Amino acid sequence: MAAAVNPTSLESAPRIMRLVAECSRSRARAGELRLPHGPVATPVFMPVGTQATMKGITAEQLDALGCRICLGNTYHLGLRPGPELIQKAHGLHGFMNWPHNLLTDSGGFQMVSLVSLSEVTEEGVRFRSPYDGDETLLSPEKSVEIQNALGSDIIMQLDDVVSSTVTGPRVEEAMYRSIRWLDRCIAAHQRPDKQNLFAIIQGGLDADLRATCLEEMTKRDVPGFAIGGLSGGESKGQFWRMVALSTSRLPKDKPRYLMGVGYATDLVVCVALGCDMFDCVFPTRTARFGSALVPTGNLQLKKKQYEKDFRPIDSNCTCPTCQKDFLPRGSGIVTRRPLILQLIFSKTEYAEFLHCKSKKFTDFDEVRQEIEAETDRVTGTNKGISPVPINLRVYSPHVLNLTLIDLPGITKVPVGDQPPDIEYQIKDMILQFISRESSLILAVTPANMDLANSDALKLAKEVDPQGLRTIGVITKLDLMDEGTDARDILENKLLPLRRGYIGVVNRSQKDIEGKKDIRAALAAERKFFLSHPAYRHMADRMGTPHLQKTLNQQLTNHIRESLPALRSKLQSQLLSLEKEVEEYKNFRPDDPTRKTKALLQMVQQFGVDFEKRIEGSGDQVDTLELSGGARINRIFHERFPFELVKMEFDEKDLRREISYAIKNIHGVRTGLFTPDLAFEAIVKKQVVKLKEPCLKCVDLVIQELINTVRQCTSKLNSYPRLREETERIVTTYIREREGRTKDQILLLIDIEQSYINTNHEDFIGFANAQQRSTQLNKKRAIPNQGEILVIRRGWLTINNISLMKGGSKEYWFVLTAESLSWYKDEEEKEKKYMLPLDNLKIRDVEKGFMSNKHVFAIFNTEQRNVYKDLRQIELACDSQEDVDSWKASFLRAGVYPEKDQAENEDGVQENTFSMDPQLERQVETIRNLVDSYVAIINKSIRDLMPKTIMHLMINNTKAFIHHELLAYLYSSADQSSLMEESADQAQRRDDMLRMYHALKEALNIIGDISTSTVSTPVPPPVDDTWLQSTTSHSPTPQRRPLSSVHPPGRPPAVRGPTPGPPLIPVPVGPTASFAAPPIPSRPGPQSMFANNDPFSAPPQIPSRPARIPPSIPPGVPSRRPPAAPSRPTIIRPAEPSLLD
């Protein structure tokens, strides 16, 4: 009887993975798969032979390439030729004639690729055959049965596959079904000792689902795991995050297979993330479409330009510059413009020109043609010259980080369109470059020329008398007369230089015409020095490679000299970023609880910020203006009292209303006593007027609360949807409280109106009304002789003083209860005027058309002049808030706003009304009673309004934010959508983290350079009097303006700016053509910092100021980068080209 198998606790799974090494900085690892058909080194890319063959390549060729494992597809092989036929051929290995390992996919991918022909159920996948339309069922058991028959070394479980861009319940359904199908595959597997069954992790782009799948599948003891369901159209970031999540939770001792990935970038990144195995049809499919994958990218071989091109696709040479022959060659003067050649180490190989930076040149014959064409565009085709440089960058994996400037050869006799003073123009052009202290001079001299007559050495000595920057280069050693050699020169014995000489042998014109490539030329150069009896003992110090190393060492020396200052600068930048990056340091985008934690923290912080802004203890105190609680306090105690006083009744109107009320109450009778009803009617009418300022006060407080909410939500900018929802919910709640608050305030006013309490302790009563009226009149007649209370001080501008003196003027004003005085300044020593406040009122004045001041005016109600011949004084403030504040201060001093004069509706003029003495006494009595009672009500309302608003609105809003806001947020929208980061914030975080890590890496690199590089000492001085004595026999070249010298009878032939006397180098800003760059990560061919701008400064040159080329007159933009410490300037006689 067969024993029952528990698929979740299978104990016979072999351990096929052996780890060899692990990276200390990433999850990358090297290992070996021990499989039945031989070991396989990992990481490994597995070619795909879907139907048991690689298209375009034979099994023997695949074997010769070093491939030790490839793929087949269970679904396609199960249809054709079928497992029975393959089994007769002794399995898939025999059928393919493949001696190495095989991996077969289960057929799950066809659920996506053949979605129109498939139907997925719990039983399996039903496919309609693309050949005859017959329906077949591919179940987990059937998939394993076919793979057992094929005999592949690694077999895959059948999984339920959906596209990586699918979201929703279908992804969860597929994930759980894949777990169940894995158990069925384990149970159906008949050859676990010969074939290794891999589980496939699913879950799409949902981190929670993928984590669940990982947790469940890793409980099954299978030999290995695959990461599936990715690379189907999602973004790189999403893809890599899911890979990182998967590898972080997979067993360390088992292989990790990332399915369907073949792009170079993805392979490198995912190896770093800990993946061991990869497969993709990309290389073979690309080849079938006529493309070749080369180090420079994708080469489209079907293009017409390659139709008759029989060169190898990748010559894999080791040229020290760019492995390509691209500089112009020929007889006479060929280099007619300076060529700034920047060599940059890069994984891909191409060239770029500054004058056409959008184009990348991968064919270096085109580079040569472009140099010649650009030269002709500026100088013409008849040997003309120009000091305007050509800027060329060459990116290659075979170069060191160097910048060279190839200068025209020195010529003495003009030809073609060259001016008569061509010798002086070229020397002036050369001196412009080699005079810079940061440049290194390569003085090139042919070996078959007398060194004592070398123009290059003479010019170098002129600008470098100590010989610290000059290296002698001897060319054409193979063309010296028979029996002669340059041994004494190269050994620095004859005519010595401080840095000595280096000999090179370049191709001849015959070699170039014979298509001798540079690789062969280097080999020939090496052979020449090793075989020549005079040079073989110093062959290791000769040749182009040694020249390259010498120049790179000078770069290293300069970098080491610059390190202390550079380290200090980087540390300063790192410290400035520390605080900003602190909140991002532990940011984990794959943390499933990250959004929940962030939401809780954001809401709590919002509540704390709101409360602090209202209570006045915020962490960011505004020193420029009032905000939050301070503005609400101002509304309560300045603006609201001001609004109350604005409704102050007009004295004459009030008296007339009282008289009408008394008469109407008496009716046809003649009253003997003052009626109570007249008092109540007038009081109730005044109480009703309180509603408008009270409701306005509520509106002002609401506006401040909403502004405070918006200020507090500014910290939620990282999550736009969360900020929007928070503002909406809190604002809605405030609006709800607004209705209740206004209802309560109206209720308070109705309560005051419902009952007139004439028994109030502060009410004067009828008996005291007349007496108090008399006392007030006396008090007004006799000024207060006691201490004067100052209500306010401050600067104001008298706006209409221009009527007298031709312009407004600012004074220091002092307001007391009795008067308004203004002084020259705040010391209050020189008083300009004092204005009594009797009979004064305030009115608003419109701003002038060109004025930004806010103005109000003081005038006399009796139509008298206020100041000298002015009927009113216009006072100006900087803001409306200042105006309102001053108005409130005047109210405290008893100066009220002007009331609008309404026309009497019944047409009766107020002066036509007359009263008898008894009525006048009754009116005066009720007037005093009304004044007393209204003052009591105002006092009560002014006290209750802030309390009511605080209780019903502000305190309730604070409680709502602390206790209910989070629940409203959870119920209003999905948490994931609420916590979606804005693209700008995500970019800012990524940029800051990238900068932070780049700075740390830069400091590490500086430390590495300090410990791993050696700075060579400056060679000791040598006796170079030979050079001085030589130069004394010939006149020193004069550096003079050249524009005045032209061949007679024709205009100058030099196209572009005419060279002139050298200018003092002027540092320019970052808008120069080439800005100051970062240092390289290492001297030599190593990776560099990221450099987005392909025409920014050469990445190997540390922090040098850009300079304006001395020869270019002002106004002409420079297209040449600044000189670099590592930039060798090559000066040489008239010979064909650079490094010829």
- Binding-site residue numbers for Zn(2+) are 317, 319, 322, 355
The C-alpha atoms of residue 501 and residue 4 are separated, in whole angstroms, by: 84
Report the 3 state secondary structure along 211-275: HHHHHHHCCCCCCEEEECCCCCCCCHHHHHHHHHHHHHHCCCCCCEEECCCCCHHHHHHHHHCCC
User: Each residue of 243-267: b (16+ CB within 10 Å) or e?
Assistant: bbbbbebbeeebbbbbbbbbeeebb
Helix, strand counts (H, E) of the chain: 34, 33
- The contacts found for 594-597 with CB under 8 angstroms, 24 or more apart, are 595/975, 595/976, 595/979, 596/975
The dihedral sign for the CA sequence 841, 846, 848, 852: positive
The C-alpha atoms of residue 566 and residue 570 are separated, in whole angstroms, by: 6
The C-alpha atoms of residue 224 and residue 227 are separated, in whole angstroms, by: 10
Please give the C-alpha separations between residue 362 and each of 35, 348, 458, 512, 745, in angstroms, as whole numbers: 42, 10, 39, 20, 81
Residue 713: CB partners within 8 Å, gap ≥ 6? 606, 723, 726, 727
Residue 729: CB partners within 8 Å, gap ≥ 6? 965, 968, 969, 972
The C-alpha atoms of residue 815 and residue 976 are separated, in whole angstroms, by: 60
Between vectors from CA 1107 to CA 1104 and to CA 1112, what angle results, nearest 5°? 160
CA 1002, 1003, 1004, 1007: dihedral to nearest 10 degrees?
120
Residues 250, 258: contact at Cβ < 8 Å?
A: no
The C-alpha atoms of residue 205 and residue 417 are separated, in whole angstroms, by: 68
Instruction: Extract the annotated binding site.
Output: 105-109, 159, 202, 229, 317, 319, 322, 355
Residues 73, 104: contact at Cβ < 8 Å?
A: yes
Residues 870, 815: contact at Cβ < 8 Å?
A: no
Strand order of the β-sheet with 840-845 is: 831-836, 819-823, 809-816, 790-798, 872-877, 854-860, 840-845, 896-897
Residue 276: CB partners within 8 Å, gap ≥ 6? 17, 29, 31, 33, 42, 43, 44, 255, 256, 257
10 Å CB burial of residue 547 (0-12, 13-18, 19+) is buried
Determine the residue type at 914.
S
Rg (the chain; Cα; Å): 47
10 Å CB burial of residue 977 (0-12, 13-18, 19+) is exposed
Strand partners, 69: 101
The C-alpha atoms of residue 913 and residue 468 are separated, in whole angstroms, by: 112
3-state DSSP call for residue 871?
coil
The C-alpha atoms of residue 825 and residue 34 are separated, in whole angstroms, by: 95
Residues 245, 34: contact at Cβ < 8 Å?
A: no
- For 340, phi then psi, to 5°, come to -90, 110
Residue 530: CB partners within 8 Å, gap ≥ 6? 536, 539
For residue 19, give both structure tokens. 């780890």
E strands, 530-595, are none
The dihedral sign for the CA sequence 790, 793, 799, 804: positive
Catalytic positions: 105, 279
Residue 699: CB partners within 8 Å, gap ≥ 6? none
Report the 3 state secondary structure along 338-376: CEEEEEEECCCCEEEECCEEEEEECCHHHHHHHHHHHHH
For residue 619, give both structure tokens. 């962490």
Instruction: Extract the annotated binding site for substrate.
Output: 105-109, 159, 202, 229
